[in-house]
């Protein structure tokens, strides 16, 4: 089986939930503490052995392209001032020439369509998809866990997590065939099912390892849930045609940074995980809680 060395990052969304900020700043550039959302996704991909990074973008995302470019003037200034620590941080965001590619999704036709836009760059090999809105804090980065599990199973694999049953209709949901613990085999998956139709409460989270067959399935997929071309439907086709699709229950905590509440929670959690911020932030949180308790 060929190693997974390419990852697609769908970043074409308008980010309307974060207006007015996203009027001029791509959502993926918004920062958790001091790193843009997209940097977390890139670091996770690198840890999993990804060598080629494919961004599916849209109009108004040029700040994202600039972010991964070199910043020679800034580097020069930092070097002159002897700020080596900042220089190192800056350099760690540089991407090698030819490692990164940008493809435009000209129309917002859905996640499946965004992934399909990268078909020529992916070619005939397995590939990963990372949705940068789903930020996962984990000792072993989530995609790396999946690459290791996938080396045993092959087929397609999606990250999965149990959600409250009433929340299942916000996700792709797995129909579980056999539960083997961290890996489950499936007999199907449904995108955003009506609550009464959800086959389980095991939801798809934004990490995928997919076979090139998915691109061929996407060639034929019709619009699905929400009138969009759904990646979930292209993966479900695999099961219908007798090929394996696995869910992988990752070890780690997932934050839904596509929502304001999730973004705030991630900000607090990543802040508390930082040695330079932990004490001040937790003292502040303690103070907030005691003021709230006193008021009740
Ligand atoms: C997308 C996928 C969905 C998945 C979710 C995870 O939905 O279509 O299957 O469960 O990401 O975050 P979106 O959140 O973009 O509507």
Q: Where are the domains of the chain?
A: 6-258
**Tokens coding 247:** 């869910």
Is the domain 6-258 a CATH 3.10.580.10 member?
no
Residue of minimum CA distance from atom 9 in ligand 1: 172
Which of 50-64, 236-250, 259-273 bottoms out in mean pLDDT, i.e. has the lowest?
50-64
In 3D space, the residue among 257, 252, 203, 195 whose CA is nearest the CA of residue 232 turns out to be 203
**Which ligand 1 atom is at minimum distance from the Cα of 13?**
15
* The pLDDT of residue 221: 87
Q: For a pocket test of ligand 1, which of 110, 131, 164 has the largest count of ligand atoms closer than 8 A to its C-beta?
A: 131
* pLDDT tens track for 238-249: 999 999 999 999
The answer to whether the peptide bond before residue 278 is cis (omega within 30 degrees of 0) is no
172 lines ligand 1 (CB under 6 A): yes
CA–centroid distance, residue 134 to ligand 1 (Å): 9
- Interstrand relation of 245-249 and 202-210 (parallel, antiparallel or unpaired): unpaired
Determine if ligand 1 sits within 6 Å of the CB of residue 205: yes
- Nearest atom in ligand 1 to 231's CA: 8
- Residue 183's pLDDT is 97
Which H/E stretch holds residue 119? helix 119-122
Nearest to 105 by CA among 13, 176, 190, 29: 13
Residue 296, pLDDT > 80, answer no
12 lines ligand 1 (CB under 6 A): no
Distance CA 125, CA 3 (A): 8
CA of 278 from ligand 1 middle (Å) equals: 32
pLDDT tens digit string along 216-228? Answer: 999 998 888 888 9
Q: Provide the pLDDT for residue 144.
A: 97
């Amino acid at each position: 089986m060929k190693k997974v060395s390419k990852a697609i990052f769908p970043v074409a969304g308008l980010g309307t939930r974060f207006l007015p900020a996203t009027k001029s700043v791509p959502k993926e550039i918004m920062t958790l503490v001091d790193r843009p959302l997209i940097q977390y996704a890139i670091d996770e991909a690198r840890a999993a052995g990804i060598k080629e990074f494919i961004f599916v973008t849209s109009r108004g995302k040029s700040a994202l392209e600039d972010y991964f470019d070199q910043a020679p003037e800034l580097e020069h200034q930092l070097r002159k001032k002897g700020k080596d620590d900042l220089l190192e941080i800056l350099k760690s965001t540089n991407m090698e020439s030819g490692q990164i590619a940008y493809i435009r999704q000209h129309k917002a036709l859905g996640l499946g369509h965004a992934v399909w836009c990268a078909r020529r760059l992916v070619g005939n090999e397995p590939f990963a998809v990372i949705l940068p809105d789903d930020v996962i804090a984990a000792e072993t980065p989530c995609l790396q866990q999946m690459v290791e599990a996938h080396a045993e199973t092959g087929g397609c694999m999606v990250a999965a997590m149990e959600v409250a049953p009433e929340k299942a209709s916000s996700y792709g949901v797995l129909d579980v065939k056999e539960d083997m613990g961290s890996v489950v085999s499936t007999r199907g998956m449904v995108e955003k099912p009506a609550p009464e139709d959800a086959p389980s409460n095991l939801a798809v989270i934004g990490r995928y390892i997919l076979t090139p067959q998915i691109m061929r399935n996407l060639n034929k997929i019709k619009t699905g849930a929400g009138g969009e071309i759904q990646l979930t439907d292209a993966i479900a086709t695999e099961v219908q045609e007798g090929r394996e699709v696995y869910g992988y229950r990752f070890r780690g905590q997932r934050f839904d940074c596509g929502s304001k509440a999730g973004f705030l929670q991630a900000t607090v959690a990543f802040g508390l995980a930082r040695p330079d911020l932990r004490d001040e932030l937790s003292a502040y949180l303690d103070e907030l809680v005691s003021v709230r308790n006193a008021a009740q």
